[in-house]
Amino acid sequence: MFVIKNEPFLETEADALLIGLFDKPLKFEEVLEPLDQAFSGQLTELVKNGDLSAKEEHTSVIPALGHIPAKRMVTVGLGKEKEADFHAIHRSVQKAAKQSKPYGLESIAIVLDSFITENVTAVEAAEAVTEALFLARFEYTGYRTPGNEPEKQLTTVVVYTEADSDEIQAACKVGKTMAEGTNTAIRLTATPPNMMTASDLALHAEKLAEQYGFELEVLEREDMEKIGMGAFLAVAQGSAEPPKMITLKHNPTDVWEDVLTFVGKGVTFDTGGYSIKPKDGIVGMKTDMGGAAAVLGAMEIIGELQPDQPVMAVIPATDNVISANAFKPDDVITSLSGKTIEVKNTDAEGRLVLADAITYAKQQRAGKIVDVATLTGGVIIALGKDKTGAITNNEPFFEQVLEASHEAGEMIWQLPLTEYDKKRIRTSDVADLNNSPGREGHAIMGGGFIGEFAESTPWVHLDIAGSAELTPGVMTRTLAILALSDQSE
């Protein structure tokens, strides 16, 4: 896939030559000067005439017209050189890759050194460019009947650079792996709910286990009944689809203690149950397993890149539907932890399945837990769709998650969880907890309920109800980067 060349780039015969342009007086200097010379100075004239720009995220596709062997040149505007960073390069390349996709490019040559600045090393540039390139080229085609024309796939990426070939090859692999794990999460989330049941999620986890040597455990309904997963089973009891509690374990060591654990909400379709959603709110609820998709995408990246620390994924998978057997408002259920819960709202089901999943993760020696869930519409009201809401019981661990999110370019924003909030969650005349204490601070109530089961275990809750709608696959890379980072502190 990737060919690294420490030689001049002008002789490449690729379908497209990808170059970065910084917004400075001389756009074509240093590494790009030979390119302008090959075009007899016409590229500089295009800049002067306004036909070619180096403004951030501006893309131009220029036919080579025989000036160079490549068929065309794709320019990526990167803005001011001193202001450009990993994420600016990522955004700009992703936009350029989307705009050039209609050309059916099967081979791309990247002039990597044209993306390097004082703030961005060759390794960082390689990862940013390749990750953005493969994110942009992914498209979920679903179940549409294919046309007669075969779709062209990108098969060759040639990277021209003066940097160390082995380091750049490794960075390209990381970038592509991050993109493909995210694309997997997008594909899982976009799949229709009759094609993506709890059993289908378990089958995907089985394939990951086979490919990467993960330990796989799938608890069936009978298994969960034996150990008392009453909260999860209450949500699942109305469905004809068998629920699955899916666990994947990556363990490169001889020790299984204090394990970094990702818990992903896997509600494959959410009607709201008897607290049924309105007609405009029920369409699109196939995406309610976006947390599970992000966790599975992250596990794919972990399988490819093999971090040194143990990592566990726990996914409670079911749908929430209406039937004669479905749970009801006013029911009282007993969770795996032994805590009893008064059900005020059957549409607040995500926190119920996560409650038992987190308790089970702790039983499996989870030492730090991140749960990811499309949990509440309230987080959209509070934060909009560009931010993931976060709640924690452990600030040092939250700082590690926050740092990983910064590296991934996925914004999270911490919400408070006060003693007053906890008191509201514990207010019930008939049970220990109330699953829906009211609309005020709805996102906090949802996350805080889950925190009742995390207890003293370091825990971060990520509510992606809005951010997953704006950016499908969100948090996949944050989780993977967290797993790849040093968690020893």
Residues designated as active site = 277, 351
Tell me the CA end-to-end span of the chain in Å, nearest whole number. Answer: 37
State the sign of the Cα–Cα–Cα–Cα dihedral 98, 103, 105, 110: negative
Going by DSSP bridges, is the β-strand pair 244-250/311-320 parallel, antiparallel, or unpaired? Answer: antiparallel
Phi, psi of 284 (to 5 degrees): 95, 0
Output the 3-class SS for the chain: CEEEECCCCCCCCCCEEEEEECCCCCCCCHHHHHHHHHCCCHHHHHHHCCCCCCCCCCEEEEECCCCCCCCEEEEEECCCCCCCCHHHHHHHHHHHHHHHHHHCCCEEEEEHHHHCCCCCCHHHHHHHHHHHHHHHHCCCCCCCCCCCCCCCCCCEEEEECCCCHHHHHHHHHHHHHHHHHHHHHHHHHHCCCCCCCHHHHHHHHHHHHHHHCCEEEEECHHHHHHHCCHHHHHHHCCCCCCCEEEEEEECCCCCCCCEEEEEECEEEEECCCCCCCCHHHHCCHHHHHHHHHHHHHHHHHHHHHCCCCCEEEEEEEEEECCCCCCCCCCCEEECCCCCEEECCCCCCCHHHHHHHHHHHHHHCCEEEEEEEECCCCHHHHHHCCCCEEEEECCHHHHHHHHHHHHHHCCCEEECCCCHHHHHHHCCCCCCCEECCCCCCCHHHHHHHHHHHHHCCCCEEEEECCCHHHHCCCCCHHHHHHHHHCCCCC
